[in-house]
Amino acid sequence: MELALLIAGLLALATLFRSLAFVLSPDGAGVDHWFWKSYVEEYRRSGVFPPQLPQYVLDDKQWYPPLFALVLAGMPKRVFDSYSHIVAMIIDLARMLLLLYLAHWLSGGNLRVIAVAGLIYATTPIQTSYNIQLNPRGLAAIMLDALLILLLVAITFPRTWVWAAIVFVGALILLTHKMTTQLLVVITVTTAAVYVRPDLLLLLPAWFVAAMVLSKGFYWKVLVAHLEIVQFWHRNWRWIGADLLRESPVYGDGVYQRPEKLHKPGLRGVVWHAFIMFGFNPAVWLACALVYERLFLRSAIYPTPLLLWLLVPCAWALATSFIAPLKRFGAGYLYVYNTSLMASIVLALTFEYTLAPALSSALVGAALLFNTIGVAIYYRQFMTNRRTRVDDGLERMIEQLRAQPKGVVMCVPVNWCEVVAYRTGHPVLWGGHGLGFDRLQPTWPRMLLPIQQVIEQYGIRYLLTMDGMLPANFVADLPPARVVTHQDYRLYCFGAGDGYNKEVRPAPSPSNK
């Protein structure tokens, strides 16, 4: 009974932290959410796999890893339509249940270990912030955790069925998420080297073959698209998170850098990376400090591979943040998402069985404190960040767009492209979902062409933006337009006819009267 009440309480706390976003932004939040809804709904409608999504002008093929979309498509339509916004949260809570099972197993049912592990995971900021939208990262993460648990069993108690399960789960990861696939390869290679187990390297081709078989050859297309995105970011990693226009060689001044830009030069860049990596998952970096238990106290609190599988993703996150040739493999701080389970279990077991209780207790207390502060900071920024949520003003402009003749929409910021495509039916100047990253190059992550050329080349009919997003030289370069305004939002409607070069305000919608 005590165990059941404890688990229920931990799940309730985690749900509270994660569901606050839906209360603060009832009209929707997250960027990727709308793409996955479009993908699943079109697949259901047409029965064609992969679906064709012509509303994304810059996409070529929908060669994303397919498993997540197929899982969503397998849900009852009514359930998906009503509860798609909490799917990622439910997957995250399932991962938390896996953590609690692992804590129970490794501690022999010690309630304090289970409680501490659950509290740390429940309050981890990146688990709260990332799972407000549909995304495959959580599904891939829980499979990677399960694979590592299976690998722990295989190393400790060799069984043939365990290796078969490892091959199967690894193949599913390849079919689910690209960054998790990259991390899986890094962990496997490192584990093989540390434990002098070259046989573990055989898992790499085994996973590839299994993924090809399970997907009936579709994984080859996924791999082609994977290599394309790596090559794209090899050329463009300097501009991850850059300002589309103010850092453009056409409209920028060569000095301005967006504060949220990922890779900044010099000391500013080091401080910024440290801030976001610690801020999204404080507990994992404090857990890494527990290496002292192994190196200096020689304690055997938990199986050594757990510490290795905690340290390797953290090292990879640092490497992809600071080593230029590795920055092509994605934003480093996102890899700390995969460390949450291992950090929670290592901190919890050390807290209970440590040989240096004063230091370990302080680290666990600090982890909980900084986790909670991180969640509070995230929600404070969530309410001021209008790029990733639909507020009343953006909802009003979406209504205006729905009433306009069909035409290609350009959004500044581009974060709005997903929701605009889904909610209006208009095509958008966006892509980058499967194959076709090279088609993004002229317009993203920086604008490399004059806007009039972009409008002519891509047939842009509308530009949706807000005050402060467009530099003056860009506005001066725009062709004649009818400008619809609401609050600080601006919708430029390009074309000839009465009313152009004039600013108009839409009549209030019934919901806003």
* HEC readout, 379-401: HHHHHHCCCCECCHHHHHHHHHH
Closest CA to 14 of 344, 391, 388, 377: 344
**Contact call for residues 117 and 302 (beta carbons, < 8 A):** no
pLDDT tens sequence across 287-341: 998 888 877 777 777 788 899 999 999 999 999 999 999 999 999 999 999 999 9
Paired with 100 in beta bridges are: none
Domain that holds residue 325: 2-30+63-384
Rounded Cα gap, residues 342 and 102, in angstroms: 10
Are 359 and 284 in the same domain? yes
Positive or negative torsion for Cα 224, 225, 226, 231: positive
Q: How far is CA 319 from the centre of its chain?
A: 19
Are 368 and 396 in the same domain? no
Closest CA to 329 of 213, 485, 183, 191: 183
Closest CA to 234 of 321, 316, 324: 324
In order, the DSSP letters of 334-362 are: GGGGGGHHHHHHHHHHHHHH-SSHHHHHH
Closest CA to 407 of 424, 383, 385: 424
Are 105 and 175 in the same domain? yes
* Inside any domain, residue 44: no
* Inside any domain, residue 51: no
Total number of residues shown for the chain:
513
The number of beta carbons lying within 10 Å of the beta carbon of residue 181 is: 22
Report pLDDT for 378: 94
Are 355 and 397 in the same domain? no
* Inside any domain, residue 47: no
In order, the DSSP letters of 111-169 are: HHHHHHHHHHHHT-HHHHHHTTS--SHHHHHHHHHHHHHHHHHHHHS--HHHHHHHHHH
Rounded Cα gap, residues 420 and 412, in angstroms: 12
Please report, as a single letter, which amino acid is at residue 403: A
Q: Which residues in the chain come in under a pLDDT of 50?
A: 496-502, 507-513
The number of beta carbons lying within 10 Å of the beta carbon of residue 476 is: 10
8-state DSSP, 439: G
Rounded Cα gap, residues 288 and 484, in angstroms: 53
Rounded Cα gap, residues 198 and 181, in angstroms: 19
Are 226 and 318 in the same domain? yes
Are 291 and 418 in the same domain? no
* Inside any domain, residue 48: no
pLDDT tens sequence across 379-413: 999 988 888 888 889 999 999 999 999 999 999 99
Let me know if 242 is exposed, middle or buried by CB neighbors in 10 A (0-12, 13-18, 19+): buried
Are 416 and 506 in the same domain? yes
Report pLDDT for 448: 97
Among 336, 366, 384, give the residue marking a domain's end: 384
Rounded Cα gap, residues 301 and 323, in angstroms: 33
pTM of the predicted protein model = 0.93
Beta carbons within 8 Å of 438's beta carbon, 6+ residues apart: 228, 232
Helix (H) or strand (E) holding 494: strand 489-494
Are 312 and 351 in the same domain? yes
Closest CA to 232 of 388, 387, 60: 60
Q: How many structural domains is the chain composed of?
A: 2
Beta carbons within 8 Å of 309's beta carbon, 6+ residues apart: 148, 187, 191, 342
Report pLDDT for 171: 98
Closest CA to 382 of 24, 1, 2, 4: 24
Are 308 and 267 in the same domain? yes
* Inside any domain, residue 55: no
8-state DSSP, 425: -
Q: How far is CA 486 from the centre of its chain?
A: 31
Among 355, 384, 413, give the residue marking a domain's end: 384
* Inside any domain, residue 39: no
Are 502 and 439 in the same domain? yes
Report pLDDT for 509: 45
Let me know if 352 is exposed, middle or buried by CB neighbors in 10 A (0-12, 13-18, 19+): buried
Report pLDDT for 501: 42
Helix (H) or strand (E) holding 409: strand 408-412
Please report, as a single letter, which amino acid is at residue 258: R
Q: By percentage, how much of the chain surpasses pLDDT 70? A: 96
Among 384, 403, 433, give the residue marking a domain's end: 384
Are 302 and 341 in the same domain? yes
Beta carbons within 8 Å of 448's beta carbon, 6+ residues apart: 248, 249, 250, 441, 442
Are 305 and 375 in the same domain? yes
Tracing tokens 């793409």 back to the chain, one arrives at: 35
The number of beta carbons lying within 10 Å of the beta carbon of residue 233 is: 19
Beta carbons within 8 Å of 64's beta carbon, 6+ residues apart: 39, 50, 222, 225, 433, 434
* Inside any domain, residue 57: no
Angle separating helix axes 111-122 and 340-353, nearest 10 degrees: 140
* Inside any domain, residue 223: yes
